[in-house]
A and B are shown apart, each in its own frame.
Chain A
Amino acid sequence: MKILWLQSAGCGGCTMSLLCAENPNVLDTLGDAGIEFLWHPSLSVETGDEVTDLLSAVERGEIALDVLCLEGSVVTGPRGTGRFHMLAGTGRPMLDWVRALAPRAGDVVAVGTCAAYGGMTAAGGNPSGAVGLQYDGRSKGAALDEGFTSRSGLPVINIAGCPTHPSWVTETLLMLAGGALGAADLDGFGRPRFYADHLVHHGCTKNEYYEYKASARTLCEIGCMMEHLGCVGTQAVGDCNIRPWNGEGSCTRGNYPCIACTAPEFEEPGHVFTETPTIAGIPVGLPSDMPKAWFMALASLSKAATPKRIDTNAHSDRIRVAPSPKGRK
């Protein structure tokens, strides 16, 4: 399977994250499955005219393109021209290139939330007119049409995340190479369900604090960050706490909130990222699927029942009180 990987209006962090793939390293993970890059901005030797020649040949259909990966959003500004990113050496906006190349591709993959939905590049009034490949935020129809499908018949596959976990990318590509990714394997925003069917809450090491609503009040306390510190792990899709990042990490394990970076429009939550908006003391965003009355009843009960150990630790920067299982001497 041959991949052409292009980067536009993003930070390059999804590639940098991809290079952190392990067991085995990224080159073996992909290479052993017969996946190779026609060109990749960080990995390939070809530069300049070698690349422009390749892109032209793909555009003319002379070189078969199995997968087009785009990292970074597509900028449409200024005034719809896309000239905020002219692909170097070509005199053409990346917006043009994407529209020319996508129909040639067996599958089109948006790597990262920028390429999927616009992402952080669309924050703060979106000065560059950044959009995703097939979504502009939550709305379908962006750089590519709402009804776009690649040669395989699939819409754009959105590996959302800011950045993407290396395994989200490698496993999506491996599934494509093995013919194991169909329309039913994507969720309502085009995300592969193998990671998007989980919530960041699943496997969160702060779950005991969550159960008792033993909440951290500042970023150096180890309690649950949902009530005060903007954590939306109970509503955000991702298996970040099931298979951690960079060895043993995740945002919540790093003791800062999940900001739902896999979601369209996460870049503008409507409040400070590290503060939970509340109405009458109740967080505005409640866990997915949970009725508000339930949450309030459970929260008041569990707060009243919080053991001293959990209450103390939640408001400390480390575990101060060890658990004392019954019968332990």
Chain B
Amino acid sequence: MSERQLLVGPFNRVEGDLEIRLDVRDGRVTAAYANSPLFRGFEMMMLGKDPRDALTVTPRICGICSISQSKAAALALGQVSGASMPPQGALAAAILHGVENLCDHLSHFGLFFMPDFARPVYAGRAWHDRAVARYTAQEGSAVRPLIEARARLFHIVGLLGGKWPHTLAIQPGGVTRAPDARDRIRIQTTLRAARRVLESELFGGALEAFSALSSIEALEGWAGGDVALFSEISADLSLGALGVGPQRYLSCGAYPLAEGRVTKAGVWEDGRVAPFDPAAIVEDVSHAWMLGEGAHPSQGVTVPDEDMAAPAYSWCKAPRLGGRPVEVGALARQVVDGHPLALALAAEGGVRARIAGRLLEIARLVIWLEAWAAALDPSARFMDTGPAPRDGAGVGLVEAARGTLGHWISCAGGRVGGYQIVAPTTWNFSPRDGGGVPGPVEAALIGAPVGEDERTPVAVQHVVRSFDPCMVCTVH
């Protein structure tokens, strides 16, 4: 029997800095501790500010999920002031948000996740030469088309939202810029160009056909594009059984439109979906370098422990829903929405499930974006004006690329008295709670294989990156 500890970091091809401590016995991870090593204190910065400044300040928590932060802040402020978006404003905001989420998924697959399979450690595998040709970091033949497709997709944000990241276009009352008929045509043209790249490079087939897959067998039978390459790798390396999370999936429902959210909200567990009750959230701080007690985010505070005292090991709080960890992300969203392929993947719950869930969402999202763009009405109102938020409390819940994001604000006399944020990776990369229960990635890493000579185990990298963590959002 051999035992050792590993300290893995800096963990790149994730957003932000991440360190993971591993206990390893007989070539397997027996315990993992996820440390979010950067503290900035955005929640503290907001105290005393005019609530409207949240729209400028909080998107800058994160350069990859900036629109998600912006949208959550706008919804929270809207609850305080009573503002809401006219139907077309909500539609334009959904297009902005959907483009960001889609682009994040493309960056994840092409830049963050796949390059690990081009590593020399896999030389000799039947698929390795193809993985090297397509996804070698900065050089693979798939990398440039995906980067270029992403850059062109962001032209939609340039048109509707001025720039990306850090637009101020999304307001509680709608969007600042009313698109005209010509903008609508450009958006549709850009989406068609994106579809062409995705269908030829990534899927090797029609998005409609991929989004109609309904079983793992059908997924494994998909013969086109890099999806097939991923399936081949996944089967060879048993990525389906690697990195199984808590298999409890949360989504607050993505893309609020006038007729309701486009995807369903809920908590999936053991094949059943229960309603999502945001009141059941508690942020535990027992293993975070934070002072104070666990609290619901509407009552929570952020007071960093400058002594960084044990047993805490991360700046990240540990959010729990009904006392238990949940996994969030594209897979969770598709599972809660009841997509048949996602439901089949939910029972698997590992690396393949997360990646396939994201691929499924890419296909569905392009189709939705096309429909939303077609529904844009350049003659409509896109923003209503109303009083500024002054007194009261509000919550904004949205689905960022990486999962459920919430902003909780309270204000009095036009000043912020409380501001708490629970980001997707706060859920997924939380440390242990007071009961010693590990967070989702910590649990998912248990059992991951570690080679005798490995100091940064490649299987651990697959598991961690399958979550697409955003560490700058995590602690904020």
What residues make up the interface of A, taking CB atoms closer than 8 Å to B?
7-17, 19-22, 25-28, 31, 37, 39-52, 75, 77-79, 83-90, 120-121, 123-125, 127-128, 130, 162-163, 218-220, 240, 244-257, 259, 261, 267, 272-274, 317-318
Q: Provide the residues of chain A in CB contact with B119, threshold 8 Å.
A: 45
Kindly count the residue-residue contacts between A and B in the assembled complex, taking CB atoms under 8 Å apart: 269
User: Which of B40, B49, B64 counts the most chain A CB atoms within 10 A?
Assistant: B40
Which residues of chain B in 154-171 are interfacial with respect to chain A, using CB atoms and an 8 Å cutoff? 154-155, 157-169, 171
Min CB distance, B135 to chain A, in Å? 10
B44 contacts A by Cβ under 8 Å:
yes
Task: Give Cα A16–Cα B35 distance, bound, in whole angstroms.
Answer: 23
Q: Provide the residues of chain A in CB contact with B115, threshold 8 Å.
A: 45
> CB-defined interface of B167-180 with A at 8 Å, one 1/0 digit per residue?
11101011011101
Is there contact, CB below 8 Å, between B144 and A25? Answer: yes
B271 contacts A by Cβ under 8 Å:
no
Is there contact, CB below 8 Å, between A247 and B385? Answer: no
Known: A17-B165, A45-B116, A255-B176. A123 touches B57 (CB 8 A): yes
Of B2-10, B193-201, B361-369, the one contacting chain A is B2-10
* B136 (CB) vs chain A CBs: closest residue: A45
Task: Give Cα A251–Cα B177 distance, bound, in whole angstroms.
Answer: 11
* A49 (CB) vs chain B CBs: closest residue: B455
Is there contact, CB below 8 Å, between A11 and B39? Answer: no
Min CB distance, A114 to chain B, in Å? 9
B191 contacts A by Cβ under 8 Å:
no
* B173 (CB) vs chain A CBs: closest residue: A220
Q: Provide the residues of chain B in CB contact with A259, threshold 8 Å.
A: 56
B12 contacts A by Cβ under 8 Å:
yes
B46 contacts A by Cβ under 8 Å:
yes
The count of residues in chain B whose C-beta lies closer than 8 Å to any C-beta of chain A is: 88
Task: Give Cα A9–Cα B36 distance, bound, in whole angstroms.
Answer: 12
Is there contact, CB below 8 Å, between B168 and A256? Answer: yes
Q: Provide the residues of chain A in CB contact with B9, threshold 8 Å.
A: 48, 52, 87-90
Min CB distance, B370 to chain A, in Å? 19
Task: Give Cα A272–Cα B132 distance, bound, in whole angstroms.
Answer: 51
Which of B40, B63, B177 makes the CB contact (< 8 A) with A255?
B177
Known: A27-B143, A220-B382. A247 touches B137 (CB 8 A): no
Is there contact, CB below 8 Å, between B158 and A11? Answer: no
Task: Give Cα A243–Cα B19 distance, bound, in whole angstroms.
Answer: 39
Q: Provide the residues of chain B in CB contact with A256, threshold 8 Å.
A: 162, 167-169, 176
What residues make up the interface of B, taking CB atoms closer than 8 Å to A?
7-13, 15-19, 35, 37-41, 44-50, 52-53, 55-57, 60-64, 66, 107, 111-112, 115-116, 118-119, 136-138, 143-144, 147-148, 150-152, 154-155, 157-169, 171, 173-174, 176-178, 180, 304, 306, 308, 315, 381-385, 455-456, 461, 472
Q: Provide the residues of chain A in CB contact with B315, threshold 8 Å.
A: 84
Which of A39, A85, A88, A124 makes the CB contact (< 8 A) with B39?
A85
Q: Provide the residues of chain B in CB contact with A274, threshold 8 Å.
A: 52, 55-56, 168
Q: Provide the residues of chain A in CB contact with B66, threshold 8 Å.
A: 11, 13
* B381 (CB) vs chain A CBs: closest residue: A317
Task: Give Cα A267–Cα B304 distance, bound, in whole angstroms.
Answer: 22
Is there contact, CB below 8 Å, between B60 and A87? Answer: no
Min CB distance, A95 to chain B, in Å? 12
Task: Give Cα A163–Cα B138 distance, bound, in whole angstroms.
Answer: 22
Is there contact, CB below 8 Å, between A88 and B11? Answer: yes
Apart from A44-B12, A247-B154: 11 A-B pairs, beta carbons within 8 A: A10-B63, A19-B151, A75-B40, A84-B38, A87-B9, A88-B8, A162-B166, A254-B176, A255-B176, A272-B50, A274-B168
Is there contact, CB below 8 Å, between A253 and B162? Answer: yes
Task: Give Cα A143–Cα B171 distance, bound, in whole angstroms.
Answer: 36
Task: Give Cα A205–Cα B35 distance, bound, in whole angstroms.
Answer: 47
Q: Provide the residues of chain A in CB contact with B38, threshold 8 Å.
A: 8-9, 75, 84-85
* A119 (CB) vs chain B CBs: closest residue: B60
Closest 8 CB pairs of A and B: A13-B63, A254-B162, A88-B9, A124-B45, A246-B158, A48-B456, A89-B9, A249-B158
Task: Give Cα A19–Cα B108 distance, bound, in whole angstroms.
Answer: 13
